[in-house]
Structure 1
Amino acid sequence: MTTAETTYRSRAPWWFNLAGHLLEPWVRIRRDPAEPAALLKSDAPVCYVIERDGFSDALILDRACREAGLPSPMQPLLHTRRRRSVFALARRDGEVFGRNRARSPNEPFGQLLRSIEGFPDRDIQIVPVSIYVGRAPTRETGWFSVLFSENWVMVGRFRRMLALLLNGRDTVVHFSAPVSLREVLNEAGEVQPQRFARKMARVLRTHFRRIRAAVIGPDLSHRRTVVDAVLNAEPVRAAITATAVKENISYAKSWQNAHKMMMEIAADYSHPVVRSASFLLRNFWNKLYDGITMHHFDKARAAAPGYEVVYVPSHRSHADYLLLSYQLHASGVVVPHIAAGVNLNLPLIGPLLRRGGAFFLRRSFKKGSALYPVVFNEYVAQLIDRGVPMEYFIEGGRSRTGRLLAPRAGMLVMTVRGFLRAPRRPVLFQPVYIGYEKLMEGKSYAGELSGQPKEKESLIGLIRGLGVLRQRYGHVALNFGEPIELTPLLDAASDSWRDTVVDPSSKPEWLNKVVDDLSEKIQVNINRAADVNPINLLALALLATPKHAMAESDLLAQLDLMKALLEELPYSERMTLTPMDPAAIVAYGEQMGWIVRVRHPLGDVLTVEPEQAVLLSYFRNNVLHLTACAAWVACCFLNNRRMTRASILRLGRIIYPFIQNELFLPWDSDGFGTQLQATIDFFVRRGLLEATGEGRLLERGPGQDDAAYQLKVIARSLIQAFERYYIAIAALAKNGPHTITAAELENVCTLTAQRLSLLNEPSAPEFFDKALFRGFIQKLREQRVVWTDDNGKLDYDTALEGMVRDARVILAREMRHSILKITGNDTETQRAAAEPDAAPASAEETVNTSEELHQRHVIAEHHEHEHEHVDQSKD
């Protein structure tokens, strides 16, 4: 030991030095900055201020100062009566295992102030020092090390001792620049000592909070920092008073109800729990998945600083929020607070989710007390005001079909309102596409789509579902889409939005448009970031055949065509595509159990078993939007040998608003036309179409030609959408104007689609989804093709009849005949349409129509052969 260190240590009691020797093997200190002595500005005495009182913190500070060549904190402070040159802002009582109790730091500041009053040449340098034990959020250490890592809670001596034993070798001592007490006093002017002391303590507390947030993340412990703020907010207090009057209860009782709601809602974020869960999840994901890949995350991270970030992922599975939170945490990004349905607030599971950042909301705000929506809105506003990142699913629930669902704007409205109330930090929405190769909930989704009721979440159900962990679920992709700033949307909607004082109950006239545009952009940007995996490509190809089977050679050729299409005409720069070649894709599909190889002397056949076909349709629907342009062009040649390019473009522009609404496509009408032109040129280059007359006339090969077969496979991925559209317009035209309501039309369409799925080959589950018919009818109304008369009945423009005629270009004669026959004014259809909820067709009805099914297939094949030899080019 050097003479300097001996002199240094002599300033502390022997027992303090002994404790330092005992602690030294367990603690490794990293100073920040590495040479803090350079921060000192003068020879004035130094007084250290630490955030929290503790014997171990004093030992660590003393050692850090000794190693850095700084004055000892254990020496008396010159010109004062203080025996030590250090004090803490927050102090504990003397009980070893008791709870912590903060004491006022005003007394030390008062002593320092009195020591320089009347002595203009005296000064004291106040050096704030922050000490963190086990603060690294991405450090992969043991289980208990994570539990006792640094956080925002002022722990007791026993927990601090465990933290030192487990995490002492990861200790950071942060020295801040010194503050001249003389300069601060001169700037304050004439001020009472008590007030000056309170101001200094407040400034230092703010400083320590800022440093702690930078080192270990923001303080997200809601029950300590947010609950009181929400309940004391003016809108909530007014709602509590109004509820007390309305329900004839005391204010105290009404306040208790609001407090209970707040405790039901609020997250209780815990850094140790999040870090512990990350270790559990790493092993869990390794057993469940073959890999988790993130694309474009660096772009998302670069765009985030300075913004309140709201992650808005697609919602495919319960694993979505766990996957995204885990990947963000593993990448060194603060885990967002996640809006979760109150149905997930299960025993044992709910508290863990809450400590992982989940806050819970009821499925409906309309039922129950009027106090609840006010409390929840205020909670969201507090999160935004504090800059806490959030995550929620604007689809409202998990997609059972694989398509993006129509957005529900509730959380978006609350987010926009919260920002408008205090627009200090701009809001950035970060879309995320989540792509799977197999879903844990696959079988339950198939059951729900076939008519089984949704099983309510429960702890017993969760335990029963643990059997899925024995399976492998392939790879998962998290693709970060183009972020969306809220401020430009507000600027476009209103020049004066910054001057608008938004009351929680008010609704500016431009708010709906902003939210609608925002939700549309989010869904579009999610789709633009799609990941195309091998299972998506297999589903697109195999489900487009009547028996979900293809010869291996045909399947390889089709996969090669689709990959070339997506590579040469990329949907967007953020779309990603599997690097596997067609042969590897087929082998992978067999390995995952999605497809089965049937050996045959004339060539193997790859097929999808019936029970897998419905599940596989989910993965086709994930990427259906990527091939929408190609599918439209191919559809034009299903029943036509020749068509002019102008006809394809003209009809495409007519149908585009409805495809765009259903698949959240990114182009405007002109952009879609440009994409169609590029797609036609691609088909010509690949030999699927032949262009004549300087490219104005397009022709496909005969029906038995390989190129025609490939076109047919592409077309069939979208043909059922056009069949649904035709069902709706045919039903409306058949019934006539002023005869049927929108709800009745939805029921007629649903029943017709159910019937068609029985009379023809099995359809995808969404074929008779009432929500899709509802969206199409709503789009007809937006386009002013259809409107409601004074009696609530639907009237329509003559353009509707033109759409019925144009459908002949796309749909086969037999299909049109079947639709027109079923949607006629027969008594059974009208009676069933009047029912509020049409039930799916029964299994018995399916069996009874088997002979009719066979007959219609024969007729359809005859008509298809007939169309191959007839030129039906229009225009």
Structure 2
Amino acid sequence: MAVVRRVRDLARAALPRSVGERLPAAPPQEVTELLHDKRFQRAVALAAEEQGRVEEEVWAEVKGYLHEMSAAHDERASQGWARMGDWFLRAYDVLVDEDQMQQLRKVDRAHSLALAFSHRSYLDGMVIPNVLMARRFSPTYTFGGANLNLPVIGSFASRTGLIFIRRSTQEIPVYRLALRSYIRQMVKNKRNLAWSIEGGRTRTGKLRPPVHGILKYLTDTVQGEGEGDPFGEDAPDVQVVPVSVVYDQLHEVSLMTEEARGANKTPEDWRWLVRFARLQRNRLGRAYLTVGEPFSLRERMDELAAEGVTGHQAVERVALDISHRLNRATPVTTTAIVSLALLGADRALTVDEVLETVEPLAAYIEARQWPVAGAADLRDRSTIRRALAELTQSGVLTAYDQGTEPVWKIGDDQHLVAAFYRNTVIHILVERAIGELALLTVSELEPGAELPPGGELQVGWEEAKRMRDLLKFEFFFPSRAGFEEELRTELRLLVGEGVTEMTPVRARELLVTARPHLAHLVLRPFLDAYLVVADRLADHGDGPVDEKDLLADSLAVGQQWALQRRVASEESISLELFRTALALARHKGLLEAGEGVGSAREAFAAELRDTLRRVNIIGEIAGDTVTVGHPEPEPREQQGRQERV
């Protein structure tokens, strides 16, 4: 009850003395301006005409939507929200790069900011406003899901700049018109806007594919009047700012991992909010807010137009650009590195064994100039030991100290939690892991093998491109030219000079002497999950597939494979990973029934088995002790006869 009273009192303290409406009787400035804007009036009239409806009826609908989504910045409410945010964040010390903030404030003085943030926690909605408010940025209006518009606190939040929007609006064209117009008016008035580019919290720790809704409305705004666009001249511009928020640990991760194993999502209501608030009583370390390089949205759209990229393709390119910048801005946490080491071993390790795995990773991170959260020294024994202790205290790891020295391992049913933390850093390791597989492919070439015009080196490039295509729904890759440049950088780190030719012997030498080896640590969990889905898909032959049933079957068989050690870790048994595999299969045209599709499904599974074979070879070179069996499948008819027996 103390938590309920605390939240209630904080909300009431910030609300006006009499609460009748969500917002004061006088609507916010942007709503008033829109309702009197001639261009907006023409847009509403046009919408009524296109839908064959009475204009007054459409106007009533528009006003209702504007009232629903409108927000204001009331000083008293904002101060109360900041206090409540501090209380919700009591599990963390929030670390901010003050030099970045100082530079961003200069941009804030001259431009409207569009803050596109990564979304790992509900706490993001507390961290970002509090950090900006404490540093006297212009008021920021943040888009949030209408599912969080709870009684009392929703009214409170709308007075602090929180704009509640609906997720599914495909069948509500008038709502989309109202939202698009509201966003344009906000930008015209130089308001700062913030939204999650992912559209919701990640369930895996790494960035989700970007959602284009808000970004599409922003690009419409900065492009001004276009064909069929009722808006006119003087289109405003915004500076897009990627904002990364990452945490040492999160209380809510365990709930998200339960959903990844098939549990129903807990609805956001007052009961959920009280439980969430109670979780924050226990300290979990630090939260880190960093920003990526800002860019002018209008200039970026003009650059793309000059390249012949327009419309939805241009929006997609900008969204991917934001995602890349977010990844680049996300710092490496000690928690992520320790989780990577222990997940890769999947057995108990001493602190010296953890350091042995982490040391080459730290050297690699330093060489690639990736930021480290809190400027931590990843080679420092006390730093690693503290991370082990904190992960043990939260239950992610278990420790045993009754022998000659303490050892730590991933706790029972905690693999997905540890994977969440590891995945916050996984984006910096993917190209290196793919490069290892490319080298291995070259090393396996037989003497006298027929080679493409580019020789052995071209064989490696083609393998890297194949892996990029296989994993393109899982990770954000740069353009093909950018991807090749990343791989060249990795080869320079291995060889110490530019690479103009390669032989199987040289490729093998590079693999054996390389440090660190990453393919088995980084790629195996995802490829194992893909193979589960591919195997279940191949079981359908040429027949139809029900996607929901396929996912359920994959969960069941995946658990069996985990028990049989046919997958390396339980973290691969995840609906989130299975859904990505399903998206890849759909892209390959493998979900529709048809003559010959069964053979294509079998080929997909075979490709994954062979890829995993090579990933396991990298693990063997690295001295990996995890043994995984990926036996060749029995003929489907024979398999069926055995089951009937």
TM-score range for the pair, normalised by the shorter chain length: 0.7 to 0.9
Relative to structure 1, the CA distance from residue 241 to residue 578 in structure 2 (aligned partners, 3 Å threshold; closer, same or farther) is same
Q: Which amino acid aligns with 1:671?
A: E
Structure 2 counterpart of 1:585, from 383, 405, 416 = 383
Structure 2 equivalent of residue 527 of structure 1: 327
| Aligned-residue offset at 1:558 | 1.2
Contact map agreement 2:65 2:178 (CA 8 A) in 1 = yes
Q: Which amino acid aligns with 2:194?
A: E
Relative to structure 1, the CA distance from residue 806 to residue 302 in structure 2 (aligned partners, 3 Å threshold; closer, same or farther) is farther
Counterpart Cα distance in 2 of 1:792 and 1:360 = 48
Counterpart Cα distance in 2 of 1:245 and 1:674 = 54
Counterpart Cα distance in 2 of 1:601 and 1:245 = 77
Map residues 812-831 of structure 1 onto 2, 5 A cutoff.
Answer: 817-818=630-631, 820-821=633-634
| Aligned-residue offset at 1:512 | 0.6
Relative to structure 1, the CA distance from residue 302 to residue 481 in structure 2 (aligned partners, 3 Å threshold; closer, same or farther) is same
| Aligned-residue offset at 1:271 | 2.8
Contact map agreement 2:14 2:156 (CA 8 A) in 1 = no
Structure 1 equivalent of residue 494 of structure 2: 680
Structure 2 equivalent of residue 332 of structure 1: 136
Counterpart Cα distance in 2 of 1:774 and 1:231 = 45
| Aligned-residue offset at 1:469 | 2.8
1:721 aligns with 2:534: no
Structure 1 counterpart of 2:358, from 539, 546, 559 = 559
Cα displacement string for residues 221-241 of structure 1 (whole angstroms, at most 9, x for unaligned residues) = 982422233334445565468
Greater gyration radius: 1
Q: Which amino acid aligns with 1:653?
A: K
Contact map agreement 2:526 2:572 (CA 8 A) in 1 = no
Matched residue SS, 1:538 = helix
Matched residue SS, 1:532 = coil
Cα displacement string for residues 384-418 of structure 1 (whole angstroms, at most 9, x for unaligned residues) = 22111100112111111112111111111111112
Counterpart Cα distance in 1 of 2:317 and 2:638 = 39
Structure 2 equivalent of residue 764 of structure 1: 571
Q: Which amino acid aligns with 2:316?
A: D
Structure 1 equivalent of residue 581 of structure 2: 773
Structure 1 counterpart of 2:238, from 407, 427, 435 = 427
Structure 1 equivalent of residue 92 of structure 2: 289
Structure 1 equivalent of residue 453 of structure 2: none
Contact map agreement 1:742 1:777 (CA 8 A) in 2 = no
1:671 aligns with 2:478: no
Q: Which amino acid aligns with 1:621?
A: N
Relative to structure 1, the CA distance from residue 376 to residue 345 in structure 2 (aligned partners, 3 Å threshold; closer, same or farther) is same
Cα displacement string for residues 662-718 of structure 1 (whole angstroms, at most 9, x for unaligned residues) = 221346332132133135348xxxxxxxx99994442766xxxxx99x867762332
Structure 2 equivalent of residue 372 of structure 1: 175
Structure 2 counterpart of 1:342, from 139, 143, 146 = 146
Relative to structure 1, the CA distance from residue 802 to residue 541 in structure 2 (aligned partners, 3 Å threshold; closer, same or farther) is closer
Counterpart Cα distance in 1 of 2:599 and 2:26 = 53
| Aligned-residue offset at 1:459 | 1.7
Map residues 114-125 of structure 1 onto 2, 5 A cutoff.
Answer: none
TM-score (normalised: structure 1) = 0.58
Map residues 500-519 of structure 1 onto 2, 5 A cutoff.
Answer: 510-519=310-319
Matched residue SS, 1:405 = coil
Structure 1 counterpart of 2:191, from 371, 388, 406 = 388
Map residues 229-268 of structure 1 onto 2, 5 A cutoff.
Answer: 229-233=33-37, 234-235=39-40, 239=44, 252=56, 254-268=58-72
Structure 2 equivalent of residue 468 of structure 1: 279
Counterpart Cα distance in 1 of 2:306 and 2:195 = 29
Contact map agreement 2:442 2:507 (CA 8 A) in 1 = no
Q: Any unmatched runs of 5+ in structure 2?
A: 1-9, 17-23, 225-232, 447-455, 497-501, 618-626
| Aligned-residue offset at 1:520 | 0.7
Contact map agreement 2:438 2:461 (CA 8 A) in 1 = no
| Aligned-residue offset at 1:458 | 0.9
Structure 2 counterpart of 1:274, from 59, 69, 78 = 78
The percentage of counterpart residues that share the same residue type is: 19
| Aligned-residue offset at 1:491 | 2.0
| Aligned-residue offset at 1:758 | 4.3
Q: Which amino acid aligns with 2:269?
A: S
Cα displacement string for residues 295-344 of structure 1 (whole angstroms, at most 9, x for unaligned residues) = 63334334445333100010011111221111111112113111111111
Contact map agreement 2:206 2:427 (CA 8 A) in 1 = no
Map residues 469-868 of structure 1 onto 2, 5 A cutoff.
Answer: 469-495=280-306, 510-547=310-347, 549-571=348-370, 578-592=376-390, 593=393, 594-632=396-434, 646=457, 649-666=461-478, 668-681=482-495, 695-698=506-509, 715-726=520-531, 747=551, 753=558, 755-760=560-565, 761-764=568-571, 767-769=574-576, 770-777=578-585, 780=588, 803=607, 807=611, 809-810=613-614, 817-818=630-631, 820-821=633-634
Contact map agreement 1:230 1:375 (CA 8 A) in 2 = no
| Aligned-residue offset at 1:584 | 1.9
Relative to structure 1, the CA distance from residue 658 to residue 817 in structure 2 (aligned partners, 3 Å threshold; closer, same or farther) is closer
| Aligned-residue offset at 1:450 | 2.4
Counterpart Cα distance in 1 of 2:639 and 2:36 = 62
Contact map agreement 1:309 1:428 (CA 8 A) in 2 = yes
Contact map agreement 2:494 2:510 (CA 8 A) in 1 = no
Contact map agreement 2:399 2:409 (CA 8 A) in 1 = yes
Counterpart Cα distance in 2 of 1:269 and 1:719 = 48
Counterpart Cα distance in 1 of 2:144 and 2:25 = 18
Cα displacement string for residues 118-176 of structure 1 (whole angstroms, at most 9, x for unaligned residues) = xxxxxxxxxxxxxxxxxxxxxxxxx9xx999xxxx9xxxxxxxxxxxxxxxxxxxxxxx
| Aligned-residue offset at 1:811 | 5.1
| Aligned-residue offset at 1:590 | 3.8
Contact map agreement 1:639 1:809 (CA 8 A) in 2 = no
| Aligned-residue offset at 1:277 | 3.1
Map residues 93-242 of structure 1 onto 2, 5 A cutoff.
Answer: 223-233=27-37, 234-235=39-40, 239=44
Cα displacement string for residues 422-463 of structure 1 (whole angstroms, at most 9, x for unaligned residues) = 553322211111110111312321322222211111123212
Relative to structure 1, the CA distance from residue 517 to residue 636 in structure 2 (aligned partners, 3 Å threshold; closer, same or farther) is closer
Q: Which amino acid aligns with 1:566?
A: I
Contact map agreement 1:632 1:652 (CA 8 A) in 2 = yes
Deviates more, 1:257-266 or 1:599-608: 599-608
- Report how many residues are paired: 580
Contact map agreement 1:788 1:794 (CA 8 A) in 2 = no
Matched residue SS, 2:287 = strand
Counterpart Cα distance in 1 of 2:142 and 2:300 = 24
Q: Which amino acid aligns with 1:537?
A: I
Contact map agreement 1:289 1:472 (CA 8 A) in 2 = yes
Counterpart Cα distance in 1 of 2:79 and 2:632 = 58
Cα displacement string for residues 39-64 of structure 1 (whole angstroms, at most 9, x for unaligned residues) = xxxxxxxxxxxxxxxxxxxxxxxxxx
Matched residue SS, 1:555 = helix
- Structure of higher RCO (CA pairs closer than 8 Å, 6+ residues apart): 2
Contact map agreement 1:385 1:419 (CA 8 A) in 2 = no
Counterpart Cα distance in 2 of 1:802 and 1:441 = 37
Matched residue SS, 2:196 = coil
Contact map agreement 2:442 2:503 (CA 8 A) in 1 = no
Matched residue SS, 1:764 = helix
Q: Any unmatched runs of 5+ in structure 1?
A: 1-142, 154-219, 498-508, 683-690, 702-706, 829-875
Counterpart Cα distance in 2 of 1:467 and 1:383 = 36
